[in-house]
Amino acid sequence: MTLTSNMPSGWSRRSILKGGAALGAAGLALPFAGKAFAQDNTLSFWQFYAPGGDVKPQVDWFVKMVADWNATQSEQVALEYVVGSEYIGGTKLATSFASGQGPDIFIISPGDFLRYYNGGVLQDLTPAIEEAARADFPESVIANRMVDGKIFGVPMEVEPMAFYYSVKAFEEAGLNENDVPTTWDQLLEVGKKLTTAERYGVLFETNPGYYQNFTWYPFMWQGGGEFQSAEGKSAFDSPATVAALKLWQDAVNSGAAPRQMLGGGGGDIVANLGSGYCAMQNVGIWGISAMDNNAPDVPYGIFKLPVPTGGKYVTVGGGWAFVANSKGKNPEAAAKFIAWALASMAPDSVQRVVDWCTVAKSDMPPRNSALAAGGDAFNKGNMGIFGTQIHPGTRAEPRVPPEVYKIISDAIQQTQLGGADPQATATAASQQLDAFLASYSGAPIL
């Protein structure tokens, strides 16, 4: 697989989340066992970045963070690098909790939040975070890491979705930046113009997983659709849902969009757009650093997600968060570390977030103070396009139980690749959602 700058070598965000979905469906993470056993009091911090990762700025960021903490604190932290295939795609993280050997600190995406929260292993971080710092995280960023007003995860990034396009492909088709699509109809029309015998015009993720769901949600939202109503019942059977399913289906059926991805999948921009496999690709902000570092000779542009007729612009923002094991060796110390690292008003904490989003990766910061401290980094160039045009319409990635993920995923797959009728599929999926939601008793689905 092609290395993308926001992931360890060989791993895209899609492949990691896809693996997480498989584990959730298998129920491997529930129920969780009791207190972890350890040979010493050092807090273990599991993640897929350092010290064994292949992206040096990301390795350096994690190593320096832990070294700075250990230099002044009695509760020491030790990084434990877990390759992506084992961290989420495999069973290591889930089975470690099931056996009572879970890490003291780890990272999760919103898609995994309910699995671990409902499993009773997420520590309440609220007491460790000062009020000013809590207010520094916008509601749209922190809400899906909270339950009953308490914070159980501190995000390290926000990753909104957009479209990237190949300048060369546009020129070859006689198009320019004035032809960038702003509506769904234009997206399909331009996609067809850009399609050749060697290249697809537009690319959506086709591999099932949390990542595919994540990238599809904004198309449902743009028409006013939701998968769950305010009353907790299914809202999936709606014109907006049907239209979003049909858009992705039409893109494939028209021949403008591929059925298969290259490299790490739909989140891997270098392997797809960078290689010339497609002319327009639906991918997140991490694509900037991926292209700039790994396809520097490929000119590209960025534009907001097009909207349906009568719809409203919205995109989706994902990202990973630090969490603490409530059954670990010292949950209070783990919470203190997380607050110090990402959620303190101290200048070094704010700068740490800025550095992660500008030096280690290309992301939007999850804190208002970091956005301000980053200055021009978030206002100029391609990051500026995200900062000023794309990010203002960001809505948080939903957190859902594995059962809800699977129902929505199946609906996308059946219509996009299986040729199923979007309306009939939305109706059937909605009935399945209602059946599950009627008996669901975990934390609120957001």
Secondary structure (DSSP) of 244-308: HHHHHHHHHHTTSS-SS--TT-TT-HHHHTTTTSBSEEEEETTHHHHHHHH-TTS-EEEEPPPB-
Say how far apart CA 222 and CA 49 lie, in whole Å.
34
Helix (H) or strand (E) holding 58: helix 56-70
Question: In which band, very low, low, confident or very high, does the pLDDT at 86 lie, cut at 50, 70 and 90?
Answer: confident
Q: How many CB atoms lie within 10 A of CB 209?
A: 25
- Tell me whether residue 255 is in a domain: yes
Task: Please report, in angstroms and rounded to a whole number, the separation of the first and last CA atoms in the chain.
Answer: 33
pLDDT at residue number 95: 87
Q: Are residues 218 and 337 in the same domain?
A: no
Residue 229 has pLDDT above 90, yes or no: yes
- Tell me whether residue 273 is in a domain: yes
Residue range 1-56, pLDDT digits in tens: 223 333 333 334 433 344 444 444 434 344 444 443 345 799 999 999 999 887 78
Q: Are residues 188 and 302 in the same domain?
A: yes
Question: In which band, very low, low, confident or very high, does the pLDDT at 92 lie, cut at 50, 70 and 90?
Answer: confident
Most confident of 31-35, 193-197, 371-375: 193-197
- State the amino acid at position 53 in one-letter form: G
Task: Indicate which CATH number applies to the domain containing 269.
Answer: 3.40.190.10
Global pTM reads: 0.87
- State the amino acid at position 406 in one-letter form: K
Residue range 238-287, pLDDT digits in tens: 999 999 999 999 999 999 999 999 998 899 999 999 999 999 999 999 99
- Tell me whether residue 144 is in a domain: yes
Residue range 141-167, pLDDT digits in tens: 999 999 999 999 999 999 999 999 999
Question: In which band, very low, low, confident or very high, does the pLDDT at 289 lie, cut at 50, 70 and 90?
Answer: confident
Q: Are residues 206 and 110 in the same domain?
A: no
Q: Are residues 351 and 240 in the same domain?
A: no
Question: In which band, very low, low, confident or very high, does the pLDDT at 89 lie, cut at 50, 70 and 90?
Answer: low
What average pLDDT does this structure show over 126-141? 96
Q: Are residues 147 and 79 in the same domain?
A: yes
Range of the domain at 117: 31-158+319-387
Which two three-digit tokens encode residue 406? 């699977």
Question: In which band, very low, low, confident or very high, does the pLDDT at 88 lie, cut at 50, 70 and 90?
Answer: low
- Tell me whether residue 141 is in a domain: yes
Residue 84 has pLDDT above 80, yes or no: no
Residue range 309-357, pLDDT digits in tens: 999 999 999 899 999 999 999 999 999 999 999 999 999 999 999 999 9
Number of domains in the chain: 2
Q: Are residues 257 and 349 in the same domain?
A: no
What average pLDDT does this structure show over 87-92? 68
pLDDT at residue number 209: 83
- The residues facing 125 across adjacent strands are none
- Letter string b/e over residues 232-264, b meaning 16 or more CB atoms within 10 A of that residue's CB: eebbbbbebbbbbbbbbbbbbeeebbbeebbbb
Q: Count CA atoms closer than 13 A to 367's CA, side-chain side.
A: 30
